[in-house]
Each structure stands twice: as structure tokens, then as C-alpha cells.
Chain A
Amino acid sequence: MSNELPLWEIFIRGQHGMSHRHVGSLHASDAEMAIRHARDVYTRRNEGVSIWVVRAADITASAPGEKGPLFDPSNDKVYRHPTFFDIPDDVGAM
């Protein structure tokens, strides 16, 4: 059973100009077959206008244990959000 078809991660871009979004995965022998299968498995209801397939083995993910060091620093930079600044109503839309 070592000859299992490899796993591919599937990304679909929907109708409304959004980015490709991860929708799931499937097994296929190569990229062309992965796209064919992705069409049948993930776009039966007109969900997409474009498909990307990526071998699951080629994806590098951040480790869950690094969640703190990676993402906590952004919490103390609240000034990145526009609501940090008080602008008087008299100034008008900004």
C-alpha cells in the first residue's frame, strides 16, 4: 500500500474577485488529475472560477507551539488600527 496516490491541497477562487481559498484536499496521481478531481469534488455547485492544486507535502506550516512568539507582538501595536486615533467630528469623513 506504499503506492498510495499523493495528497493535494485544493484552493478555489470564487466568483466575486476574492483570493483563492483553501477548500480541502484530495488524492491524485499528478497535478492534472488533481485539478480534474478538484473540479468534481469541490465545484459541483458553481463555487469557483479557478483552481490551484498544491502537493500537501510541499506546504510548510507554522508550528502551533510558536503561536505566541509569532502573533503576540501584533497585539501591542494597537496604533495600527485607525480607531486608535481620535479625530474630531468637525473634521468630517476621514
Chain B
Amino acid sequence: MYAQMVKSTGSGIKSREEMSPEERHFQDRVDAGEKIEPKDWMPEGYRKTLIRQIGQHAHSEIVGQLPEGNWITRAPTLERKAILLAKVQDEAGHGLYLYCAAETLGISRDELTRQLLSGKMKYSSIFNYPTLTWADIGAVGWLVDGAAIMNQVPLQRTSYGPYSRAMIRICKEESFHQRQGYDIMMKMANGTPEQRRMAQDALDRFWYPSLMMFGPSDAESVHSAQSMAWKIKINTNDELRQKFVDQTVPQAEYLGLTVPDPDLKWNEARGHYDFSEPDWEEFFEVLKGNGPCNVERMAARRKAWDDGAWVREGLMAHAAKHRGPVAAE
């Protein structure tokens, strides 16, 4: 889940009586499972919340390239390098699909970039953690992409057409990411004692940050209730977190690795695992900019934008000089 703590506007869900006729018609369409398209009438709050959510999601895909890109030059084999390169390229693509979806809501690409670089818009907390060893690349694919998939699969049914279509495309490509991560983990977990230690260490460091990706409990949040009524959020954060834990624990067992939670145990009555909450103070610190890599990540994005300025300007100058119609095939 790459969108955390997205606040909707307003103070909660309006009753039907409080809604204007347009709002009522809009809500009826959403309730009937119709897709809302860019030119359709929509409440201002819906538009603004979606821009925040899709924008944050897009920024996460782009910033998410950095921790993995860190290992492209040091991948252990040529094959692993080619795979990681393809995976990181996919993340760039996912960011672009999502930026385009956000732009249909009336915000420009440059404005989205500006708001990321100024710190006004956020990206997922998870990408502010470092990737220290090759096993971390396995853990990121397995856990981080695994958690992202948990969130993105239901979002394929979201009410906003362009967002839904971007999610469908992304989900198709995403399972390669998780599998390549798990494949690395299998290799490491079945490798030398040192490789095994690296795999366990990666799980130890990425377990709780992965649980944080779903955001704090929002069962009581008016923002979440509104987003769910608009079908731009499908499940509560706790539902998705539980689903992730239930799916991931057996995968860790298969690897012979230990989830770093002494209180983790199967609850027969609930039919789910009981588990410990992550440290939410740490989460809020990371969101505030005080995580291990916040400064480094933003510096990398700013440098990329600034260093690319002459290329963008040159391309536009070239296009202005040679503008002419091109016939379709």
C-alpha cells in the first residue's frame, strides 16, 4: 500500500438529505458500481482526495526505485541484474500510469512533481528505510511488493475509471515483482550460513516497516469512512494488514526464517494470526521526515529533476523548431 494517511476533505459522510441533487446522483452511480470518468461531475472532495491518494501512490512508485536501484550495479549475477533492472523499470512505468490518472483530475505533472519536491505531497514511509544487503532486495520484493499487492488488488474495483485502469495494469505486472523477491529469499535461505543470516536479518528489519505500510488503524476514521463510501478505499487498514500477516507467515515458515514477533501465534477461534503492532511513533517520525533515508531520497529526486532540466528544455526547443504534422500509419 503506497498511500498512507490520505485525508479526505470535509468532516464525514453526508446523509442523503444533506446532499445536493448532484451529489445524490453521483453517490447513486458509485453505489451502483458505475465508473466515474474524468469529465463527469464529481464532488470537489472526491477530486481532491483522489489527487492526494493517486499522487502519493505515484510518488511512491518513483521514490521506490531508489532503494532497489541501489543494488543494480552490485547484483550477484548478470541474470539477477537484468531482472532487477526490469523490475525497477516497471516501477517507473507504474509511477507514470498513476501520474497520468492523477492528471485527468486537473493537476499538471509538473505541479505533482513540484509538490513532491517541496515536501507538500508524501510517498510511502517504507522507502525511507535503507537496503543494506542483497537479501534486502529479496525482502523488498517479497514483503513490500507483497503488501502493495494486498492493497492494489481491491483498488482495481475503485470507482474512478482512470485509477481503476491503472491499477489493473499494475496488478498484472506486480506479481512478477513479489515472486522475484521470494526467489531471492529462497536462494539466500537455502544458501551458506552467512547467506541465511543475511536473509533473517533482512526479514528482521523489513517486517515491521512492511506492517506500517498499511497505515495506523482507521476503523474510527471519518476520512476513511468517506473514502470507502466513495469507493476509493475498499478495505480498512487493519483488514489488509491482517490479510498480509496471514499470507506471509506461512511463506516465512517455508523459508525456515523467524518472523521477529514473539507474540505471533495462530488464533484458532479467529481463524487468523495474532501479531504485535508496529511502533507507530517510529511511523509518524518517518512520515515527518525523520526516517533513516528521507533526506537522501528527496535529495536524489531533486538532483534528478534539476539535472534533467536542460534535457527537457532542449527537447522542447527541438520540437518547436521542427514542428510538423506526422501522418498515422
Contacts and interface: CB of A to CB of B under 8 A. Distances in A.
Interface of A: 1, 3-5, 7, 24-33, 40-41, 44-45, 50, 52, 61, 63-64
Contact of B319 (A26, A29, A44, A64): A29
Contacts of A33: 315, 319
Nearest to B93: A41
B97 interface: yes
27 contacts: A4-B108, A4-B110, A5-B316, A7-B100, A7-B109, A24-B169, A25-B100, A25-B103, A26-B96, A28-B315, A29-B312, A29-B316, A30-B318, A30-B319, A30-B323, A31-B326, A32-B326, A40-B89, A40-B93, A41-B96, A41-B97, A44-B89, A45-B173, A52-B328, A61-B39, A64-B37, A64-B41
A4 B109 contact: yes
Give the dominant DSSP class at A's interface. Answer: mixed
B100 A24 contact: yes
B329 A24 contact: no
B246 interface: no
Nearest to B309: A3
B268 interface: no
B40 A64 contact: yes
Given A5-B312, A29-B319, A63 B39 contact: yes
Top 7 closest pairs, chain A to chain B, by CB:
A29-B315, A30-B319, A29-B319, A1-B110, A31-B326, A25-B100, A4-B110
Nearest to A45: B173
A62 to B, nearest CB: 9
B313 interface: yes
Given A50-B329, A63-B39, A1 B114 contact: yes
A28 B103 CA distance: 15
A84 to B, nearest CB: 27
Q: Which residue of A4, A33, A61 has the most chain B CB atoms within 10 A of its CB atom?
A: A4
Contacts, number: 62
For B39, B100, B109, B169, the residue with the greatest tally of chain A CB atoms inside 10 Å of its CB is: B100
B16 interface: no
Given A24-B97, A44-B90, A52-B329, A1 B111 contact: yes
A33 B100 CA distance: 17
A92 to B, nearest CB: 41
**Most B CB within 10 A of own CB, among A7, A29, A61:** A29
Contacts of A41: 93, 96-97
B322 interface: yes
Interface string B137-161: 0000000000000000000000000
A41 B109 CA distance: 16
A26 B100 contact: yes
Nearest to B97: A24
B313 A3 contact: yes
A27 B109 contact: yes
A65 to B, nearest CB: 9
A31 B100 CA distance: 18
Contacts of B109: 4-5, 7, 27
Contacts of A31: 326
